[in-house]
């Protein structure tokens, strides 16, 4: 008899998750905004090496949710995993603070601390990221039409943090003096602690389903031994050491990440499709998740140039002067998140307004890829026939980020909601991790592509010669445009498979 009431507005739990994720994204994007600048200006890495570390780090950040999602589903629950993961990430930022404090006085120790800090960030994120996203959809009854809107609201939380983080961390760290980068890491670590505080104090009261059951608690069939503080501590310690080793080996010994990613996604597919308790319809829906996850690789590998090659472009090729003030290049990484906060309500309204004419999720995601390609076409025109060393107007970078944001709003929150709606409940977190594994592929690939940045030299991709910035940006136009075209062609078939 109370069917209409739950349909009004959103539950308060959404805003608790919003705030928790906002401060974590403040931490992540604030640190990311200055990461390649810290590597090239303080640690004195060359751009290709820095780009590959950036890709490996961000790739592993999206890979470790496979482990965190699995452990949360079976042993720790979402809440415990989020809080523990957040604490590990905060420690990682403070380790990077000490790295930034001694890179001149003790370069060898600073290098060790650098990879230790990155490894801790990777490990902590594995427990934080898949578990908070999975709970958003669980706040609502099954087939509730507010889910797409809820993920868009949640996405605004992500991007509120993503907008503020680069400004704050860039203000304190990107001053032109490499010794100040440490203050950016410190600010990011404080933001991460605030995220943990919000989750700890407000989760049990507000993060509940429509029947008022608390979400994300320890699974009922979880063995008691797995929750003992000593075993939890040892588990986190071992996983952190492994993560530190993974980023160090990938950067300094040999590149294995693409193979690890292929093995991980193959193992997940085997675990799910060999599960005899899943119906044929459920497996068909899961297959849609795998297909769309493949296409988002093309989106994020181009989109995530923001933290690598596009940061180099902002630093060296963009006229950042406003009067007597020079805008720090790290500030430009706030543009995307700022545009998301501004545009997200419009897109949430648009999908609802279209009603029965609303395109299906695969078609929306294809549109997102098309808008991404359009953004790179815009900036390609901005640098076309511009002589080397000549700085171009900020309008080209700003316009590109605006178009990319429109593409992101068609793809990312829609994809998150799609995974939640199609995933069988027993594999909810693990299939959310599949989505993030596609991001891992893309981020590692983004680092490889950033290494092709034509810094006074000719680079090659599959026989395609890149001699200038126009050639570089056209590569992304072609990749994203082709992926958009193919996804548009199969969108109707995928929608049918979604039932």
DSSP-derived secondary structure for 237-248: HHHHHHHHHHHH
Lowest mean pLDDT among 267-276, 310-319, 372-381, 460-469: 267-276
Distances in Å between the alpha carbon of 421 and those of 146, 368, 413? Answer: 12, 20, 12
Is the per-residue pLDDT at 317 higher than 50? yes
The CATH number of whichever domain residue 25 belongs to comes to 1.20.1250.20
Q: Does residue 226 form part of some domain? A: yes
> In terms of C-beta density within 10 A (0-12 exposed, 13-18 middle, 19 or more buried), how is residue 357 classed?
exposed
pLDDT of 389 reads 76
Nearest C-alpha neighbor of 427 from the set 73, 72, 64 = 73
Distances in Å between the alpha carbon of 348 and those of 145, 343, 355, 358, 359? Answer: 12, 9, 12, 11, 13
Is the per-residue pLDDT at 5 higher than 60? no
Token reading at 292: 């769309």
Q: Does residue 1 form part of some domain? A: no
Lowest mean pLDDT among 27-41, 54-68, 89-103, 411-425: 411-425
The set of residues, in sequence order, having a beta carbon less than 8 Å from that of 168 and lying 6+ positions away, is: 26, 30, 187, 191
Is the per-residue pLDDT at 353 higher than 80? yes
Is the per-residue pLDDT at 48 higher than 50? yes
How many structural domains does the chain have? 1
Q: Identify the three-state secondary structure at position 485.
A: helix
Q: How much is the mean pLDDT over the chain? A: 88
pLDDT of 435 reads 81
Mean pLDDT confidence for 480-497:
90
**Could you report the per-residue pLDDT of 384-416, keeping only the tens digit for each?**
988 777 899 999 999 999 999 999 988 887 887
Q: What is the dihedral of CA 364, 370, 374, 376, to 10 degrees?
A: 110
Give the Cα separation of 320 and 394 in Å (integer): 7
Specify which residues 99 forms β-bridges with: none
Is the per-residue pLDDT at 115 higher than 50? yes
pLDDT band at residue 7, thresholds of 50, 70 and 90?
Answer: low
Lowest mean pLDDT among 104-113, 163-172, 256-265, 345-354: 345-354
Nearest C-alpha neighbor of 28 from the set 245, 189, 246 = 189
Is the per-residue pLDDT at 2 higher than 60? no
The set of residues, in sequence order, having a beta carbon less than 8 Å from that of 397 and lying 6+ positions away, is: 310, 313, 314, 318, 332, 335, 379
Cβ count within 10 A of residue 1: 4
Q: Residue 10: CA atoms inside 13 Å, Cβ hemisphere, count?
A: 22
Is the per-residue pLDDT at 13 higher than 80? yes
Is the per-residue pLDDT at 297 higher than 70? yes
Q: Does residue 3 form part of some domain? A: no
In this structure, are residues 490 and 376 in contact, taking their beta carbons and an 8 Å threshold? no
pLDDT of 62 reads 83
The set of residues, in sequence order, having a beta carbon less than 8 Å from that of 176 and lying 6+ positions away, is: none
Domain range spanning residue 110? Answer: 9-497
pLDDT band at residue 4, thresholds of 50, 70 and 90?
Answer: very low
Q: Does residue 164 form part of some domain? A: yes
Percentage with pLDDT > 70 across the chain: 98
Is the per-residue pLDDT at 204 higher than 90? no
Q: Does residue 2 form part of some domain? A: no
pLDDT of 1 reads 42
pLDDT of 239 reads 94
Q: Does residue 4 form part of some domain? A: no
**Could you report the per-residue pLDDT of 320-334, keeping only the tens digit for each?**
998 888 899 999 999
Mean pLDDT confidence for 354-379:
91
In this structure, are residues 344 and 409 in contact, taking their beta carbons and an 8 Å threshold? yes
Lowest mean pLDDT among 39-48, 169-178, 248-257, 454-463: 454-463
Mean pLDDT confidence for 242-251:
94
Is the per-residue pLDDT at 498 higher than 80? no
pLDDT band at residue 3, thresholds of 50, 70 and 90?
Answer: very low
Percentage with pLDDT > 90 across the chain: 50
Q: Identify the three-state secondary structure at position 461.
A: strand
Mean pLDDT confidence for 138-163:
79
Give the highest mean pLDDT range of 132-136, 169-173, 222-226: 169-173
Is the per-residue pLDDT at 109 higher than 90? yes
Q: What phi and psi values does residue 73 have, to the nearest 5 degrees?
A: -60, -35
Mean pLDDT confidence for 242-261:
92
pLDDT of 71 reads 87
């Amino acid at each position: 008899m109370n069917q209409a009431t739950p349909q009004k507005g959103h539950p308060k739990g959404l805003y608790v998750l919003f705030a928790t994720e906002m401060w974590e994204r403040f931490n992540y994007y604030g640190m990311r905004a200055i990461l390649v600048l810290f590597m090239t200006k303080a640690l004195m890495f060359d751009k290709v090496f820095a780009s590959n570390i950036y890709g490996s780090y961000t790739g592993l950040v999206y890979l470790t949710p496979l482990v965190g999602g699995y452990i949360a589903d079976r042993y720790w629950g979402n809440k415990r995993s989020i809080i523990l993961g957040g604490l590990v990430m905060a420690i990682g930022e403070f380790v990077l603070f000490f790295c930034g404090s001694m890179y001149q006085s003790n370069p060898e120790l600073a290098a060790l601390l650098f990879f230790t800090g990155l490894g801790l960030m990777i490990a902590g994120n594995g427990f934080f990221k898949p578990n908070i996203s999975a709970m958003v959809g669980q706040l609502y009854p099954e087939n509730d039409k507010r889910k797409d809107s809820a993920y868009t609201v949640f996405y605004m939380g992500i991007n509120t943090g993503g907008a503020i983080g680069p400004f704050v961390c860039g203000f304190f760290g990107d001053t032109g003096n490499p010794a100040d980068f440490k203050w950016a890491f410190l600010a990011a670590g404080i933001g991460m602690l605030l995220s943990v505080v919000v989750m700890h104090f407000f989760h049990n009261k507000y993060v509940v389903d429509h029947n008022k059951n608390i979400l994300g608690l320890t699974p009922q069939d979880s063995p008691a031994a797995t929750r003992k503080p000593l075993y939890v501590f040892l588990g986190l310690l071992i996983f952190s050491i492994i993560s530190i080793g993974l980023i160090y080996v990938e950067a300094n010994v040999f590149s294995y990440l693409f193979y690890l990613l292929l093995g991980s996604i193959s193992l997940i597919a085997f675990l799910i499709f060999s599960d005899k308790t899943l119906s044929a319809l459920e497996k068909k829906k899961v297959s849609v998740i795998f297909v769309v996850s493949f296409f988002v690789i093309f989106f994020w590998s181009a989109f995530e140039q923001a933290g690598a090659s596009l940061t180099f472009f902002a630093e060296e090729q963009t006229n950042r002067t406003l009067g007597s003030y020079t805008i720090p290049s790290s500030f430009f990484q706030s543009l995307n998140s700022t545009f998301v906060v501004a545009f997200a309500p419009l897109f949430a309204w648009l999908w609802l307004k279209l009603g029965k004419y609303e395109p299906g999720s695969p078609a929306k995601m294809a549109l997102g890829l098309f808008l991404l390609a359009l953004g790179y076409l815009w900036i390609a025109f901005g640098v076309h026939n511009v002589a080397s060393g000549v700085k171009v107007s900020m309008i080209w970078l700003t316009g590109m980020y605006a178009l990319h944001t429109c593409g992101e709003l068609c793809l990312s929150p829609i994809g998150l909601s799609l995974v939640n709606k199609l995933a069988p409940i027993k594999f909810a977190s693990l299939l959310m991790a599949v989505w993030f594994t596609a991001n891992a592929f893309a981020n590692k690939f983004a680092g490889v592509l950033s290494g092709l940045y034509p810094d006074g030299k000719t680079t090659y991709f599959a026989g395609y010669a890149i001699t200038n910035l126009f050639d570089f940006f056209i590569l992304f136009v072609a990749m994203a445009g082709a992926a958009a075209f193919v996804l548009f062609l199969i969108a109707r078939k995928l929608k049918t498979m979604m039932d």
